[in-house]
């Protein structure tokens, strides 16, 4: 049985693809899976290597290989056909293009559109609201299956990993993101906030969870440069001691360990400081309270969906236009994190707009001191996604059943 999958950025690779592939191979070790990473502004470029390291039995193609295959060129190892093409990230048009190249049934997870509804044989929904959107797009009800949020299984599996790291009981875990602008701007920004917090709470364990998609050299460059001046960040250093790495203040009086297994660290953390994205769902699944920031200090540097993300490249007014678009998108939504959207209330504390490290530090300190909020929020977040556990196994079972029919 053969399956072709499209994927794109770090959230999709770690939060969706990783748990699904693990479940697929658990249920069918001989499954022939071909993963294509498609061009995408949210991608880091490290995703293919990450997936290859975890699943050496999978056939993984980077975006350059995808472009060649999509244009009809020959490429070593590429199959002549497949039973199905599954969308698991990126623009839907890429999955449609591969389906035209390889044939097979078209399947999708979470996203669809009326344009592709007729050709969709199977649509896997995160929840009933997502399933209703599929049906409204024109996908027949008998082709829609509610499986749950794959990111929940991904978070739980990582947290239970034998290679888990931790900040120490009751610590603060900072998760700055892995996209290029996040590394360059938010690592120095959160580093400066961490210095403020450390001055107030010298005994508080603080660690930085750096994505496996981010090279340590990029972390070093970011903290040494200090980011855009509008981020109000201080410069620091990164030092390595054997296999360990630390972010260190310029005077050497504060140092924060860098961990790679974020969910294992988050499981023991008292609070997480992060940004909106898949990671907030993962934190919620573990019951880890969080403060999520959407800094708009340099809004034109943020990646947004679609061609509008390139506005800043236009001469003269491009930067101002991109800044206006990013700000307008931010203000359109009451909540920026999926757990808050799903709960219909603010469980994760959110900060939007022009932010300073000092303000972020103050909010974090207030939340750390509020034991009642920490306890209640932890329980409510864990309960929010409890029913989603097992999503990967459910989806894998449905997928494999369909592939057997199509074979």
Whether the CA torsion 74, 79, 80, 84 is positive or negative: it is negative
Whole-Å CA distances, 393 to 25, 143, 149, 324:
10, 18, 11, 43
Provide the pLDDT for residue 148. 97
Provide the pLDDT for residue 380. 98
8 A C-beta contact, residue 265 and residue 207: yes
Beta carbons within 8 Å of 344's beta carbon, 6+ residues apart:
none
Whole-Å CA distances, 399 to 2, 81, 107:
11, 17, 9
Beta carbons within 8 Å of 304's beta carbon, 6+ residues apart:
325, 326, 329
- Integer Cα distance of 171 and 258 in angstroms: 13
- What is the token pair recorded at 403? 């592939």
Beta carbons within 8 Å of 251's beta carbon, 6+ residues apart:
none
- What is the token pair recorded at 285? 């699944």
8 A C-beta contact, residue 182 and residue 275: yes
Q: How many alpha carbons fall within 13 Å on the CB side of residue 395? A: 32
- What is the token pair recorded at 34? 């071909």
2-148+390-406 against 163-387: fold identical: yes
* pLDDT tens per residue, range 337-351: 999 999 999 999 999
Provide the pLDDT for residue 146. 98
Provide the pLDDT for residue 304. 67
Whether the CA torsion 401, 29, 281, 277 is positive or negative: it is negative
Provide the pLDDT for residue 234. 96
Block mean pLDDT (10 aa), the chain, length 407: 95 96 97 96 92 97 96 90 97 96 97 94 97 97 97 92 57 95 96 98 96 96 97 97 96 95 94 96 97 91 68 71 76 92 97 97 98 98 97 98 89
Predicted model pTM:
0.91
- What is the token pair recorded at 332? 């359109």
Provide the pLDDT for residue 264. 92
- What is the token pair recorded at 392? 């990967």
* pLDDT tens per residue, range 309-332: 666 677 767 777 777 877 777 778
Q: For 2-148+390-406, give the CATH class.
A: alpha beta
8 A C-beta contact, residue 207 and residue 219: no
- Integer Cα distance of 217 and 407 in angstroms: 46
Residue 112's nearest CA partner among 97, 141, 128, 91 is: 91
- Integer Cα distance of 355 and 107 in angstroms: 41
- Domains of the chain by residue range: 2-148+390-406, 163-387
Provide the pLDDT for residue 329. 77
Provide the pLDDT for residue 356. 98
Question: What b/e readout covers 79-113, taking b as 16+ CB neighbours within 10 angstroms?
Answer: eeebbbbbbbbbbbebbbbbbebbebbbbbbbbbe
- Integer Cα distance of 320 and 157 in angstroms: 43
Three-class DSSP category at 195: helix
Three-class DSSP category at 270: strand
Residue 146's nearest CA partner among 394, 369, 406, 368 is: 394
Give domain 163-387's CATH superfamily. Glycogen Phosphorylase B; (3.40.50.2000)
Q: How many alpha carbons fall within 13 Å on the CB side of residue 32? A: 13
Which element (helix H / strand E) includes 282? Answer: helix 278-286
């Amino acid at each position: 049985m053969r399956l072709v999958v499209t994927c794109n950025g770090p959230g999709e690779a770690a939060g969706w693809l990783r748990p699904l592939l693990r479940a697929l191979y658990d249920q069918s070790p001989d499954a022939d899976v071909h993963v294509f990473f498609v061009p995408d502004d949210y991608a880091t470029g490290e995703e293919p290597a990450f997936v290859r390291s975890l699943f050496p039995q999978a056939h993984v193609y980077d975006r350059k290989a995808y472009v060649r295959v999509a244009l009809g060129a020959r490429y070593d190892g590429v199959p002549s056909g497949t039973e199905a093409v599954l969308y698991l990230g990126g623009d839907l048009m890429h999955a449609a293009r591969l389906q035209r190249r390889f044939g097979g049934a078209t399947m999708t997870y979470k996203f669809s559109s009326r344009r592709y509804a007729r050709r969709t044989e199977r649509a896997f929904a995160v929840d009933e609201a997502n399933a209703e959107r599929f049906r409204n797009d024109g996908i027949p009800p008998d082709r829609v299956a509610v499986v749950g949020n794959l990111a929940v299984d991904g978070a739980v599996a990582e947290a239970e990993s034998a290679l888990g790291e931790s900040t120490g009981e009751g610590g603060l875990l900072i998760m700055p993101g892995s996209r290029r602008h996040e590394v360059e701007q938010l690592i120095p920004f959160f580093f400066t906030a961490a210095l403020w917090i450390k001055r107030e709470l010298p005994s508080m364990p603080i660690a930085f969870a750096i994505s496996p998609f981010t090279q340590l050299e990029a972390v070093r460059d970011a903290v040494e440069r200090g980011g855009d001046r509008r981020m109000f960040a201080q410069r620091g250093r990164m030092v390595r001691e054997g296999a360990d790495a630390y972010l260190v203040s310029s005077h050497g009086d504060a140092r924060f360990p860098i961990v790679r297994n974020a969910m294992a660290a988050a499981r023991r953390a008292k609070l997480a400081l992060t940004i909106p994205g898949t990671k907030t769902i993962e934190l919620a699944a573990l019951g880890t309270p969080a403060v999520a920031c959407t800094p708009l200090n340099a809004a034109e540097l943020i990646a947004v969906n679609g061609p509008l993300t390139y506005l800043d490249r236009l001469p003269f007014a491009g930067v101002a236009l991109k800044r206006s678009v990013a700000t307008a998108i931010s203000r359109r939504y009451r909540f920026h994190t999926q757990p808050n959207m799903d709960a219909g209330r603010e469980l994760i504390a959110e900060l939007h707009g022009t932010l300073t490290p000092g303000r972020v530090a103050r909010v974090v300190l207030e939340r750390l001191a509020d034991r009642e909020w920490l306890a209640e929020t932890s329980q409510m977040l864990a309960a929010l996604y409890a029913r989603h556990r097992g999503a990967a196994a459910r989806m894998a079972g449905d997928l494999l059943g369909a592939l057997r029919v199509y074979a």
